[in-house]
Homo-oligomer: A and B are copies of this chain.
C-alpha cells in the first residue's frame, strides 16, 4: 500500500509559478523575510513531518479512537507524542505574531500547509486547527490582558483551543442558544449550559484548553442579537499566565462518529464555569465570525486534502492492480492482465480526482493571497476588496471543495473495487473522514444560502460583479492563445461567467415576488459557481503551462503537458455538470414547494 506523500512539485507550481507568491509577499513589509526559498523549505519540512509522524498514526488512530473516562479524554496511542513533536518543531506558532512568540509568517503559508496535515491525518490536524481559530479570535477581539494571558501559550502549542457554539437544539440557528453567562463582581462571568459537537473539546495533548464559548448575558435580547463571546479555560490561569485550579467545565461524553475518530468530539458541560467576555456584550456572533471564516477556509482545504489523498492512493493501485485487458492493443503482454489504469473508465475516475485535487489547491492558493491582503495590507481599499471577495468565495470554497473532496474520496475507493471497502486499505476511512467536511462549519446547504442570500442578494450582486469581470477580463486577454484547446475553453468559461451573471439577475427578480426562490436556487447556484471557478483556475493553469512550454526552457515538459491535458479533461468532462445545475435551478421554486408536508410519504 502506498502512503501519502505531500505533492511538493504541484504545490510549488501552484504557489510560485501560477500565483507568484514570492512577489505577493513582497507587498508587505512584515513579511520581508518570507521568500520562495524559505517557504519551499517549510513545505519540505512539513511534508517530512506529515509523512514520518502523522501518516503512521492515520489508520491506528481511526481504529483505536479516543476514549472517555471521568478523568478526561485519552487520544489514541502515539498522538500525544506526535503532538509533542509538532510543538517542538514550532508548527503551531508559524503564522502568529512575533510579539507573542510567533514566527510571523503569512497566513497563506499556513493555509498551504493545512492541505498536507489534513491529507496525512485529518483527525490530528484538527487539534492545532481549532487552536489556530481560537488564537485568531483572541488576537482580533481580546483585551490586552487576555492576549497577554492566553495567546503566548496557545502560540507555543503548550495549550490548545476550541470553539463552542453548537447546542443540542441549535446548530445552524445560533439565535436559539441557551448557555447563560452571569456576571461576577470581579468582572468575570459564570457560564452554565451544555455544548455539543466540540471538536478537540477535551484531550490529553496539551496542558490547558482554552474554550471560546458563545453564551447569553442575563439581560440579552432574544435571538442572534443577544449572544456574547467568552474565554473559558479548562484550568484557570493565574496572573503570571500559569495554570491554576480546575474550572467547572467538563467533558460529559464523546460522540461515536462515522469518522475522524482520532479527534475527540465532546459534549462539554459548563457548570458555572468561570469565563471572560471577549469583545462587546451581545456582539459575540460578529467576533465569532473571525473564527468561523478561518474554520471554513480550513474545512475547504480538508476537502481538497481528501481529494489528493484518494487520488494518490488510487493512482498507485491503478498502476499496480492487474485486471482485464485494454480494449485496444494489449499493453502488458507478458503479464496475465493489464494494469487497470489502461481502462478508460478507471482513468475517468483518476482524472476526476486529479482535477479536483489540483483545482482545490489552486483555489486555496487564489484565496490565501486575499487572506494575507485582508489581514495586513496597508491600503484600506485593497483590504476591503479582498474582504468582499473572500466573503463571496468562502462559502463556494467550503461547500464545493468538501463536496468534490467527498466525491473524490469515493472515486478513490471505487478504483479499488471490493478492496476499497476493506478498512486495511484506508480508502473507506478517507470517505468517512471526508464526509464531515460537508457538515461542520455550516452544511453545504447553509453555505449555499449564505452565498446567494446573504452575500449576493444581500449586496445586490455587488460582491459578485468584480469576480465576473475578472474572469471575463482573463478570457479576453487570452482569447487568441495559440493553443486551440485554450481558446475553446476560454470561450466556454466566458459564456458561463455571463450565464452566472444572468442567472443572478433572474433569481433576484423572481425573489422580489417570492423569497423562496433564493433558497430553491441556492445549492445549484453554488455548485455552478464552483464548477466555473475551477474551470477558471484550470484555464489559468493551462495558459501558464503553455507559456512555460513555449519558452522552451523547461526540463520537465511532461509536468506542463499534464497540466494542459488535465485542463482539457476538466472542461470537456466535468464542466458539463454546470449545465445540469443551471437547468435545474432555472425551474424555480414551485417543484420544491408545491408538496404539502403530509404529501411526502403515505
Contacts and interface: CB of A to CB of B under 8 A. Distances in A.
Interface in A412-429: 413-414, 417-424, 428
A444 interface: yes
A418 B445 contact: no
Contact of A171 (B172, B417, B436, B515): B417
A446 to B, nearest CB: 8
Given A558-B596, A589-B344, A602-B559, A431 B435 contact: yes
A572 B558 contact: no
Contacts of A184: none
A312 interface: yes
A558 to B, nearest CB: 5
Contacts of A1: none
Interface stretch (A17-25, A321-329, A459-467): A321-329
Contacts of A562: 595, 599-600, 602
Given A258-B423, A348-B592, A597 B319 contact: yes
Interface string A576-602: 111111011001010111111111111
Contacts of A572: 584, 587, 591
A255 B579 CA distance: 42
B519 A595 contact: no
Given A345-B522, A428-B435, A449-B345, A351 B595 contact: yes
A104 interface: no
A443 interface: yes
A469 interface: no
Contact of A197 (B170, B418, B440): B418
Interface string A287-324: 00000000000000000000000011001000100111
Given A336-B176, A423-B256, A595 B418 contact: no
A599 B565 contact: yes
Contacts of A345: 445, 448-449, 519-520, 522-523
A335 to B, nearest CB: 10
A334 to B, nearest CB: 14
Contacts of A349: 445
Nearest to A197: B418
Interface in A448-484: 448-449, 453
A576 B524 CA distance: 12
B417 A435 contact: no
Contacts of A173: 322-324, 337
Interface in A531-584: 556, 558-559, 561-562, 565-566, 568-569, 572-574, 576-581, 583-584
A438 interface: yes
Nearest to A323: B173
Contacts of A559: 602
A579 B583 contact: yes
Contacts of A315: 600-601
Nearest to A518: B327
A364 interface: no
B593 A256 contact: no
A26 interface: no
A326 to B, nearest CB: 8
A347 interface: yes
A341 interface: yes
A431 B258 contact: yes
Given A439-B420, A580-B577, A10 B602 contact: yes
Nearest to A438: B414
A565 B580 contact: no
A415 to B, nearest CB: 9
A361 interface: no
Given A431-B435, A435-B421, A583 B576 contact: yes
Given A347-B593, A562-B595, A592-B344, A418 B576 contact: no
Contacts of A327: 453, 515-516, 518-519
Nearest to A589: B344
B566 A595 contact: yes
A9 B423 contact: no
A7 interface: yes
Contact of A561 (B410, B583, B599): B599
Contacts of A259: 421
A354 B562 CA distance: 42
Given A257-B422, A258-B422, A428-B435, 15 more contacts: A172-B323, A172-B417, A176-B336, A257-B428, A311-B601, A327-B516, A341-B600, A343-B519, A414-B443, A421-B436, A421-B439, A559-B602, A562-B595, A562-B602, A573-B591
A-B pairs, 9 with minimum CB distance: A576-B583, A344-B519, A258-B428, A344-B520, A572-B587, A580-B580, A327-B515, A562-B599, A345-B445
23 contacts: A172-B324, A173-B324, A256-B424, A257-B422, A257-B428, A258-B422, A326-B516, A327-B516, A327-B518, A339-B597, A348-B592, A406-B410, A414-B439, A414-B443, A417-B443, A421-B439, A431-B435, A565-B591, A573-B587, A573-B592, A576-B581, A577-B584, A580-B580
